[in-house]
Amino acid sequence: MDVTSATSAQTNAASTADAASLNESYDQFLLLLTTQLQNQDPLSPMDTAEFTNQLVSFSGVEQQIKTNKSLESLLALNVLNITDIGLGFIGLDVESGGNAISFDGTNSQTMGYALNEAAASNTVSIIDANGNTVYSESGETGTGIHEFTWNGVDSSGATAPAGQYTLQINALDENGVAIPATTTVPSRIAGIESDGNGNVILITNGGEKVPITDVRKAVLPGA
C-alpha cells in the first residue's frame, strides 16, 4: 500500500457510509411522509411545518457530506503532492538535524553544530555503535554555527570501519557547565514512507528516519 492509499481508503469509506446512512433515512422519511399525506383527514390536514423542518435538516446534512467529500479530495491531493516532493529527495545528499552518522568506510563526513553561547572549551567526538570514542579533537568555542569534517580516521590513524556512528559535542563554560549544542548530520536518502497521518518520512541509506520538514539542505551527490 502506497503512502496515499491508506488515507484515501479511510476517508472514502467514511463518506460512503455517511451517504448510505443518509439515503436510507431519507427514503424512510419520504415513505412515512407519503403515507401520512395519503391518509390524512382532508378536514384536518397535517401541519407541514414539522416535515418541512425535517426536509431542511436532511438537505443540510447532505450538503455537509458533500463538503466533507470535497475536503477529503483536497487532503488526498495534498498527500499526493507531498509524496511527489518526498520522491524527489531519493538519491540526494541531505543535511538534517540529528547526530547519527552513516560512514561508508571511504568518504569524509561534514557535520555541523551550533552553540548558543561562547564556550571556554569544546571537544568534538565520534562515537561508535558500542559507545567507544573513535576520534576526538578540539572544536570551535564561539557562539553560532560551526562545521566539523571527519575523514573517517580514528585516533590511531587507521581508517574506521563502515557503520553507524554518533557525533558528540562537549562544550563547557568557564565553570565547567555543559553548554547545549544542536547538531546536523549528512545522509543520503534511499526511500520514503508515510507515518500514517499523511506525513512523509525520508529514509536514509543507514536506515535512519528523517521527517521531511527537518531537512535543512539537499544537494546532488558530489555537489
Q: What is the pLDDT of residues 14-47, one digit of tens each?
A: 556 656 665 666 666 666 667 766 776 666 665 6
Same-domain pairing of 76 and 97: no
pLDDT in tens, 96-109: 888 988 898 998 98
Full-model pTM: 0.58
Same-domain pairing of 193 and 128: yes
C-alpha cell at 23: 439515503
Please count the other Cβ atoms lying within 10 Å of the Cβ belonging to residue 4.
19
DSSP-based three-state secondary structure for 6 = helix
Query: Could you tell me which of 130, 191, 190 has the C-alpha nearest to residue 164?
Result: 130
How many helices and strands (H and E) does the chain possess?
Answer: 2, 11
Give the CATH number, domain containing residue 151: 2.60.40.4070
Same-domain pairing of 81 and 118: no
Query: Could you tell me which of 99, 100, 79, 89 has the C-alpha nearest to residue 6?
Result: 79
Question: Which of 87, 116, 131 is the C-terminal boundary of a domain?
Answer: 87
